[in-house]
Amino acid sequence: MIIVTGTKRSGTSMWMQILIAGGFVPFGEAFPRTWADTIKDANPDGFYESILRRGIYWATNPHPRTGDYFFPEQVENHIVKVFVPGLVRTDRAYIGHVVATMRHWREYERSLDRLYAMEDEHRLTINPGSSAPPRMPAVLEWWHENFTLVRDIVTRRHRVHVQSYDGLLKDPEKVITETMKWLGRGDPVAALTAVKPGNRTQVRPESSSVEPAIAEVFDILYAAVDERHPITPELIGKLNDTNRILGPRIAVAQRELAEAAKQRRRKGGGDGAGELEDDVHQQPSW
C-alpha cells in the first residue's frame, strides 16, 4: 500500500487529497462520523481517515466488526492515512511506499490547539458543563511521534519520502512531480489542483512550551527535513540525547492518558468528536 503518515495537523489530509486527485484509490471517508458538523473548518476539503489510521495489523485487519480481511496484493495501488503510531505497528508486508509529512512544531502546536477548541465547542453544545478530556501536551506529542518516525525509518528501512509542510506549499509543482515519479504512477497535473495554500491557518507562531535548548533540537530536526538533509549519525545522536530528556515527561503524560481512558470506559463514556480509535461500530471504510 501507499501509506501517508505524519502527526495530526501535519499535512496528511492534504497529501491524501493530492494523491486522490492524482488518480489513486483511497481508503477512508472525507468526513467520517460527524466531522462535517464538528471539525470541518480544520480541513474543509476532507480528512480521509478510517480505522486503519491506527495501523494495519491484527486489531484492524480483519475489520473488528465485519471480519473483512484484505491481503497485501489486493491493495498495492491503494492509499491510506496511517498516523505515526499506526505506521510503527503496521505489518511490514503492507508497507509499499510511505509518504511522510512533517510540520514545524510551533505551527503544529497552534493548529492542534485550534482543532481541540473546535472539538470542545461541539462537546459543550451536546453536553454543557462537561470537561475537556486529558491530552498530551502538543510539543511532547510532536516530538514523540516524529522521533518515533525517524527511528522506524532507520530501523525498518521501508521506502519513504519525507517532505516538510513548508516545502510542499513553497513549490507544490516540483514536490508533487518528484513524488509521483518516485511512486511510479499518478497524474501530477491533476494532483496539483488539490493544493490550496489558503487553507493554511498558522504560519510559525511563537512558543515557549519547551526550554530553548530543546526548541533548538526541534528546529534542527525540522530543518533537516525541510532542506532535505540526510539523517546523519550526528543528528541521530542529538535526537537520542533529547529523547532521553523528554522521554520521562512523555511517559508521565501517557500514564495519565491511559488512566483517564480507563475511567471513561468504566463510566461508559465515548470518544471525542475527533476520535476514530476505538469506534468499531461504524460502517467499515473499506
Q: What pLDDT is recorded for position 284?
A: 27
* Ordered DSSP codes for 197-266: GGG---------SS-HHHHHHHHHHHHHHHTT----HHHHHHHHHHHHHHHHHHHHHHHHHHHHHHHHHH
* pTM to 2 decimal places: 0.85
Provide the Cα torsion 247, 138, 9, 148; round to 10°. 0
Q: What cell was used for 6?
A: 505524519
Q: Is the dihedral of CA 20, 26, 28, 29 positive or negative?
A: positive
Asked whether 139 and 109 are in contact (CB, 8 A), the reply is yes
Give the model confidence (pLDDT) of 225-242 as tens digits: 999 998 889 999 999 999
Q: Which residues contact 135 (CB under 8 A, 6 or more apart)?
A: 116, 257
Q: Is the pLDDT of residue 189 over 70?
A: yes
**Alpha-carbon span 84 to 86, nearest angstrom:** 5
Cell 515527561: give the residue. Answer: 249
How many angstroms separate the Cα of 78 from the Cα of each of 18, 19, 97, 107, 170? 13, 10, 11, 30, 27
Q: What pLDDT is recorded for position 285?
A: 26
131 vs 197, more confident: 131
Per-residue HEC secondary structure of 253-284 comes to HHHHHHHHHHHHHHHCCCCCCCCCCCCCCCCC
Q: Is the dihedral of CA 181, 184, 189, 192 positive or negative?
A: negative
Q: What pLDDT is recorded for position 35?
A: 56
pLDDT confidence tier of residue 260, bands split at 50, 70 and 90: confident
Domain residue spans of the chain:
2-267
Q: What pLDDT is recorded for position 123?
A: 86
Which numeric CATH code is attached to 2-267?
3.40.50
The mean-pLDDT minimum among 167-181, 199-213, 265-279 falls in: 265-279
- End-to-end C-alpha distance for the chain, whole angstroms: 13
